[in-house]
A and B are shown apart, each in its own frame.
Chain A
Amino acid sequence: MSTKISVKHSLNLLGNSIALPFKSPQILYPFGILAFIQVFLMEIIFFATRMPLVKIFGPIIERLRGPIFLHYPFNFDLLANIFQAFQPFVFIFISSIIIGKAVVIVVQLNEGKGVDQMPKLGLKTCVNLMVAFLMIYIIASGFVAGYDLLIRRAVRIRSTAGFYFLIKQAVLIGAPYFNLLFSIIITTLLAYLVPLIVLAKQNIFIALWTNFKMIGKSFFMLLIIIFISSLFYVPVLLIQSNQQWLGSFLSIEGWQIFKIFSVLLLLFIDAIQYTAITTCYLLTKEE
């Protein structure tokens, strides 16, 4: 498959991947479970500061964060912080398994098989998936930490006009977009890791090696698919970076609903990306 053809195909593949959840909603089931876990987590943290759960969680929150976070509206700050703190665990231990199952469902749907229940993954596969996601998390954290260093340096730029000022503004304002770009690059470079572990039953190290061997054949195709599908998240980033201004129009609860929406959107994007990645993997493997 030449790169030219791949690029041409990528838009078709992306279109099919977007349409698949609507044609075969079974692909969304694993992500539905993930959405349930995330929203349930939010609910528990939200009610942790209210009666009757505050009797259990109140003293812990008071000791760790201070008594003010038990009261409105600071409970929403607490919700955001604790939810964020849980995300690495959710990503490594839950998302890994759920995405693995989603990949199996995509294959079953491609083969024209019906999907009556969630596919089962062996313990070995689950462990390999968790290690793979831990690795992805470490790499992503490395990028974020590196960017933080850049931000610290940019903050020290004193210029209020000119080229250096532009650099400073680009680094500071562009932070969420650069992070999205890092995430696109990482997802593309390690795209076949999950299909290789789940479908080819390879262990993480072999899967990693095979991934890099295979990725060269369809890198641009994947990059375009993942880049375009990630653009759906840009409006969320735009809204988030204008939080202060929008805060005067939106109530605190409204903002929380927006956060839930952004989590669900992220899961939908994941569903599209892994549908496309799995299809791409099957095409590349056939070659």
Chain B
Amino acid sequence: MLCPLLAAGAASSADLNEAWLAIANSHPKDALRKLDESDPARAVQLARAVALMAQQSATDDNVRAAEKIFVELATGNDEPADEAAYLQARLYQLHYVQPDYAKAAELYQALAQRHPRSHWAQLGLVKLALLKLYVVPDTTAAGSDRLAPAEALLAQISDPLLQRDLNLQIGQAGVALKQPLARFLPHLVAADRVGGITATAREDLIVQIGVLSMRAGDWAQAKKYFERYLVEFPNNVRAYDVKLNLDDAIRHLAKRAGS
């Protein structure tokens, strides 16, 4: 009696994995073919909604169909509920032809209140902070300090990698929003300390901390980062200027030591 049921269950789980794999390989149509629309399992419905939002070409109809499923799933109290709530916010921020940043911000906030420790809620806080930095500034909270609302959200994030990502973004926003150097340079240093930043972003960050430290008069920190750059990227076109800046930093430190 049990055998056919077990077999059905195993096949369904295998199909689900195949569907997720198809989505991970950017083949959402294949995923939809593997999933039974009438299957009420929450995991299956989540995969269906994700496949719908990933359809090419993207249309508001597909996004709406995905949202309908996300809304239903988000009422639960499990991992798919948090994933669905996070993705619903993403739809309003990025996927609808006409974004609704305020609505997205509201949904990220609601998820963080409901399940603050969930990975998806924490990732949502990073996205919310970006919105607050650039498109829905919180003007009531901290006057003209554009970084403060994002810093308040940073305090709610416990995942070190997500803290790193938000620190990096607050640092970059500090430059873009022309904030005082002392307000954002420590965020860049904090992001670097966690490590794991790769490719150009890594190279840019090391030079950037060196140069901004120099501009802030922190010659010792500038020297440290310039030296690190020259060890990691000795052949890069920037190495010549980094070397000149390093010489400058060493001169200033020697002068200070002399006086």
Question: Are the chains A and B members of one assembly?
Answer: no
Residues of A participating in the B interface, judged by any CB pair closer than 8 Å: none
